A and B are shown apart, each in its own frame.
Chain A
Amino acid sequence: MATQSQTTAAFSQQLGKYYATYTGTFVAFVILLAILEWAGVPNRVIGYLFVFFTLAVYAMIGVMSRTTQVSEYYVAGRRVPAIFNGMATGADWMSAASFVGMAGTLFLLGYDGLAWVLGWTGGYVLVSTLVAPFLRKFGAYTVPDFMSHRYGGNFARFLAVIVLVSCSFTYIVAQIYGTGIIASRFLGMQFEIAVFVGLAGILVCSMLGGMRAVTWTQIAQYIILIIAYLLPVIILSTQKYGIPIPQLMYGQAIQDITAREAQMLQTGLSTAAALKPHIIPFQTYSPLNFFGIILCMMVGTASLPHILMRYFTTPSVREARQSVAWSLFFIFLLYFTAPAYAAFSKLEVYTEIIGRDVTQLRPWLFTWGELGLIQICGKNAASLDAAIAACKAIAGHPGVVRLQDFVINTDVIVLSTPEIAGLPYVISGLVAAGGLAAALSTADGLLLAIANALSHDIYYKMIDPNASTARRLTVARVLLLIVAVLAAYVASTRPADILAMVGWAFSLAMAGNFPALVMGIWWKRTTTTAAVLGIIAGFGLCLFYLITTRYFPQAGVTYFGMSSLANPVTGAPLVDVAKVMADPRWLADVPAVAANPLQSRVGWFGLNNINCGMLGAPLGFLVMIVVSLMGKEPSKEMQAFVDEIRKPRGQTVIQEK
């Protein structure tokens, strides 16, 4: 079909023009704001203009992409070219945690933080080789669609929906929380109001146009987030080393950090206990947990429905594979820059803050100290006087800032880089717009995954298979609204555990989805009973391990033989379990609270609870293999179906209306 590929090429070219114009307009807008700032427009106004301009653009794309066709709503009409789908996936993937938190994690943990960088990139190899092209050939609207078709109907579908909702909902709450934090920090809005502004930003993108609108806005959001991430650190690298390639120049910074670390220890500016040398491995995570995080994040990537469904939108199986490669390329641009941010910030902190007389601290610190994000001598560094007073209160304090006196929230690393480099406020506004784009785009993808599972899988496939197109789309939009408002409500209560739960989503997806997806495609012998039992066993074990170690560690110790995790450096137990268990305040039947000294510090085999997928997924595979071999071979039709999804050529296996 030469004509089809010609139209695709023409469409691609046209899209290229649109987005090039869009990028040019955005750059012009940034320059305009820079001029306004120079002319004396206050920072607050610049911040507002940034946020409202970008939200208005997303809303415009959202409204222009509205649709009344089911296939447009669920899979963007399956005509998103590989490279653009790659960009959209990049935005879908990179959340507030990647944009704002990743560099900070690397700052704090040094080498061990790289487990997250590796885990959140390498998973795309599994997506491309094992899962996504086959699901594209199948032609589903949702991941539970595949489970239901391969594993005998609605029970498997229902299980898949449970897995999907449990790994996506906490994740979306964290994104909305992230938009609230960014909006409140840069616009000075009240957090609870900022959350609902973020909610509006999410809804305008997804409500009218579903996947189609989300796709085109995610591409726009990717462009903003990548410019916002790269620009400050490129300027910083040029200022410090004269070459605008931070990814190459931070090698020097690492050398300087290592030299400074030794110096700080010698001069008493730091104790060995307070210092984690930047390049020395396995100080935060034991090797088992380090490689466990890499594995769980990678396999989780290949199991998360909001990522897999992005590859349902490409025009062909071939483009789905290419698109995975492009996705990783666009994600890579941010992830291989994050360690540069971490190194530059760390050098700045080690040389400009640590060892400096408390009375000589630089003023950028106090804007973050006021928000409680930087502490000096155990108190929020809201002003110079506050910092001096706090240090005076410590007996025998030498009057210079020591490493153990200084505490910084990980979010500050990226957000404060423009100020450290002494850049105008417009760059800070740009970074805020980028962080907002990262959070909104991920929230959109997740929201759509949840709402589609409820409207397509639960409502249309299980409750009312005769529903008309108009009715299905109405239900989809209403459910989308309900899920979004619910997530925003939960975010506005500032749940304490929410950030920890994002990591859990990967392990839960890994345990609940990965074995069933891979076995369904790669082993024809897998039976329905085996898959259903495998999902329940794997997901169940992972969930059990998470909940027990975090909320009921005493019960874990008493009934399930759990013991203390080990300190990765010394190998000694993290907590004295026997002592805590003997303490009447922590009786076994008291539900765990945040102060519980055993929380997340006990387990089996020294495994962190974030790595529960390491227990669940192998069990899932084992159950599927054993039960399959005990049962009867799947029917000839089912085997023919598996053959069919393995071959790229031909129509999609199912033709959705």
Chain B
Amino acid sequence: MESKDQAYWNDTSRLMWTTLAIWFFFGYVVHMFVVPLNKIVILGFPLGFYMGAQGSLIAFVVLLFWFAKAQNNVDRKHGVAEDE
């Protein structure tokens, strides 16, 4: 593989791992602490329950829009983006 391609793929891989780390945090790690989080109550919602019902979902939606943008920037930086 040419070094140019390799640089692009390194950036893409790094972005992938970053995105998956955030995904793992909101998909799993935060829910492991549901019992202590439930002691915090906001607007009637115990926080641990809220993260499962809404918080993590909002995080996933934001994460995906951010990822689409970030990957576009990577594509443009390395000149492999599609024509607009």
Do chains A and B stick together as partners?
A: yes
B82 touches A325 (CB 8 A): no
A118 adjacent to chain B (CB < 8 Å): yes
Which residues of chain A have a CB within 8 Å of any CB of chain B? 1-2, 4-5, 111, 114, 117-118, 121-122, 124-126, 128-130, 133, 247-248, 250-255, 279, 281, 287, 290-291, 294-295, 298, 316-318, 321-322, 324-325, 328-329, 332, 335-336, 339, 639, 643, 646-649
Q: A633 to nearest B CB, angstroms? A: 13
Q: Is the interface of B mostly helix, strand, loop or mixed?
A: helix
Question: Among the interface residues B32, B53, B57, B83, which one has the most CB atoms of the partner chain A within 10 A?
Answer: B53
B7-32 Cβ-contact flags toward A at 8 Å (1 or 0) = 01100100110011001001110011
Q: Is the interface of A mostly helix, strand, loop or mixed?
A: helix
Further pairs besides A5-B84, A279-B38: 8, Cβ < 8 Å: A117-B52, A122-B23, A253-B44, A254-B49, A325-B68, A339-B53, A639-B1, A648-B82
Q: Using Cβ atoms and an 8 Å threshold, which residues of chain B touch A255?
A: 41, 44
Q: A647 to nearest B CB, angstroms? A: 4
Given A298-B27, A318-B72, A647-B5, is A332 in contact with B57 using a C-beta cutoff of 8 Å? yes
Number of A-B contacts (CB under 8 A): 140
Q: Closest 3 interchain pairs by CB?
A: A251-B44, A114-B52, A325-B64
A125 touches B23 (CB 8 A): yes
Given A251-B43, A321-B67, A648-B75, is A121 in contact with B28 using a C-beta cutoff of 8 Å? no
Q: Using Cβ atoms and an 8 Å threshold, which residues of chain A touch B12?
A: 646
Q: Using Cβ atoms and an 8 Å threshold, which residues of chain A touch B52?
A: 111, 114, 117-118
Q: Which residue of B lies closest to A253 (CB)?
A: B44
30 CB < 8 A contacts A-B? A1-B83, A117-B52, A121-B56, A121-B57, A122-B26, A124-B64, A125-B60, A125-B63, A129-B16, A251-B50, A254-B44, A279-B49, A294-B27, A294-B31, A298-B27, A318-B68, A318-B82, A322-B65, A322-B68, A328-B64, A329-B65, A332-B57, A336-B57, A646-B5, A647-B5, A649-B75, A649-B79, A649-B80, A649-B82, A649-B83
Contact among A129, A298, A332 with B67 in the assembled complex (CB-CB below 8 Å):
A129
For the complex, give the distance between the alpha carbons of A114 and B83 in Å.
42
A128 touches B44 (CB 8 A): no
B27 touches A122 (CB 8 A): yes
A279 touches B46 (CB 8 A): yes
Which residues of chain B have a CB within 8 Å of any CB of chain A? 1, 5, 8-9, 12, 15-16, 19-20, 23, 26-28, 31-32, 34-35, 38, 41-46, 48-50, 52-54, 56-58, 60-61, 63-65, 67-68, 71-72, 75, 79-84
For the complex, give the distance between the alpha carbons of A51 and B31 in Å.
41
Q: B2 to nearest A CB, angstroms? A: 9
Contact among A2, A247, A316 with B54 in the assembled complex (CB-CB below 8 Å):
A247
Q: Using Cβ atoms and an 8 Å threshold, which residues of chain B touch A336?
A: 53-54, 57-58
Q: Which residue of A lies closest to B84 (CB)?
A: A5
For the complex, give the distance between the alpha carbons of A254 and B44 in Å.
7
Q: Using Cβ atoms and an 8 Å threshold, which residues of chain B touch A639?
A: 1
A117 touches B57 (CB 8 A): yes
B44 touches A252 (CB 8 A): yes
Q: Using Cβ atoms and an 8 Å threshold, which residues of chain B touch A328?
A: 60-61, 64
Q: Using Cβ atoms and an 8 Å threshold, which residues of chain B touch A316?
A: 82
A647 touches B68 (CB 8 A): no
B81 touches A294 (CB 8 A): no
For the complex, give the distance between the alpha carbons of A251 and B39 in Å.
14
Q: Using Cβ atoms and an 8 Å threshold, which residues of chain B touch A250?
A: 44
For the complex, give the distance between the alpha carbons of A413 and B72 in Å.
43
Given A118-B27, A125-B19, A125-B23, is A335 in contact with B57 using a C-beta cutoff of 8 Å? yes
